[in-house]
Amino acid sequence: SAGTTVRIILDIEGSLAIIVSACVVILYSLLGSLCCIHRFDPNGFHYPQPGKSCAFLCYHASFALVNFAIENIYYTATHQSYQYPWIGKIEKLYLGRWLDDYFYLVLGSIPWQTYFQRVLSAPASTGQAKLVSYVSGLGCFAMAIPSVLIGAIAASTGKTNSILPLVLHYLCPAHICTAGLGAIAAATMSSADSALLSAGSMFAHNTYRKILRKKATETEVLWSLRTSMLVFGVGAASLAFYSSSVYDLWFLSRVLVHTLLFPQLCCALFAPSTNTYSSSAGFLVGLLLRLLAGEPALSILPLICYPACSLVNRIYSQVFPFKTFTMLLTFGVILAVSYLAKVLFQRNLLPRRWDVC
């Protein structure tokens, strides 16, 4: 995270790094009147910031690889040195959890508002938006390469905590470290401001304008957008204080998108007969099942222990692919409740005046 990188490289307290990072993101998004975000989203197709960050990380990895403290990463990939070989292995017991993680990382990346925000801001035609979506898959693969290299480098020095900032700080020259910090900050800002804008715009337009104030003026909607962005930014910073790892929170958000929003997106695109009742029921059932399965990042103990659940280092480990199971169950609930609501109202089993959605 940006906070961890700032804390290690600039040698300041972790709490102060989180506060500074959160203030910069919030003020950048608010004081710029959202102009920077709207202008840079279309330009991101031609000058993608993550691509620049990827190039910077490859450049840093080349310096770190020749550092005298690094063992040969080809040797440490298959031989134990400071730790087990960094290439790792998949044990049969955890195969279900690996598949579960694979599905939620892949499918959970699709319904993100930031993705659709950039696709809809494509400067030309729908064909270009489709092309960018397809090519981005190859881009994700390419951007994973420097992360693997830096992870291998850190594992070859016996340091695996806070890998990226440690590599930049101790294994690269000072000017390279400074450039790397700038690249990470730019990439983080690109994601953080889009996340704030996405959350704020959904609240302002879908909740405030359509539910709370149907006759709201554009000025009211704009101020509700700014207020919600401020609230969401403060809430995100508070979660960073509460959790021991920001990365765990990032994975948790991906899990929630996978289990709650991916079924909704599939139904909206391929099952247009679904309705608001089924959408609400599926969301509530999916959220309840996900919370009952527990979440170590938020210190939530599981009330539902799926098959092969075990207690490891005082933390419950769910080996069963419960995330994918919850997603499929949410999808089934949406279809079932939609059909049930349709039958109840069309056959007059329930009064038509009760059909408020």
pLDDT digits (tens, 9 = 90+) for 135-189: 888 888 887 887 787 777 777 665 555 566 666 666 666 666 666 666 666 666 6
Residue 190, in any domain of the structure: yes
Residues 181 and 285 in one domain: no
Residue 91, in any domain of the structure: no
Note the pLDDT of residue 3. Answer: 55
Note the pLDDT of residue 149. Answer: 79
Residue 76, in any domain of the structure: no
- Residue pLDDT, tens place only, 52-86: 556 556 656 666 666 666 677 777 777 777 677 77
Range of the domain at 311: 244-357
242, 272, 291 - which closes a domain = 242
Return the sign of the alpha-carbon dihedral for residues 70, 72, 77, 81.
Answer: negative
Residues sharing a CB contact under 8 Å with residue 320, sequence separation 6 or more, in sequence order: 96, 97, 306, 307, 308, 309
Residues 160 and 193 in one domain: yes
242, 273, 294 - which closes a domain = 242
Cα(243)–Cα(39) distance, integer angstroms: 34
Residues 192 and 327 in one domain: no
Residues 236 and 138 in one domain: yes
Residue 305, in any domain of the structure: yes
Note the pLDDT of residue 181. Answer: 66
Q: Please determine, for residue 233, whether its predicted confidence score (pLDDT) is greater than 80.
A: yes
Residues 114 and 40 in one domain: yes
- Residue pLDDT, tens place only, 266-298: 998 898 888 888 999 999 999 999 999 988 877
Residue 265, in any domain of the structure: yes
Residues 228 and 273 in one domain: no
As for how many domains the chain has, the answer is 2
CB atoms within 10 A of CB 38: 13
Residues 251 and 232 in one domain: no
Residue 84, in any domain of the structure: no
Average pLDDT, the chain: 77
Residues 149 and 21 in one domain: yes
pLDDT band at 115, cuts 50/70/90? confident
Residues 136 and 249 in one domain: no
Cα(357)–Cα(276) distance, integer angstroms: 6
Residue 102, in any domain of the structure: no
Q: DSSP of 214-260, one letter per residue?
A: TT--HHHHHHHHHHHHHHHHHHHHHHHHHSS-HHHHHHHHHHHIIII
Residues 234 and 301 in one domain: no
Residues 27 and 165 in one domain: yes
Q: Please determine, for residue 18, whether its predicted confidence score (pLDDT) is greater than 70.
A: yes
C-alpha torsion angle, residues 42, 46, 49, 54 (rounded to 10): 150
Instruction: Please check whether residue 289 is in contact with residue 353, taking contact to mean a CB–CB distance below 8 angstroms.
Output: no
Residue 332, in any domain of the structure: yes
Residues 184 and 304 in one domain: no
215, 242, 269 - which closes a domain = 242
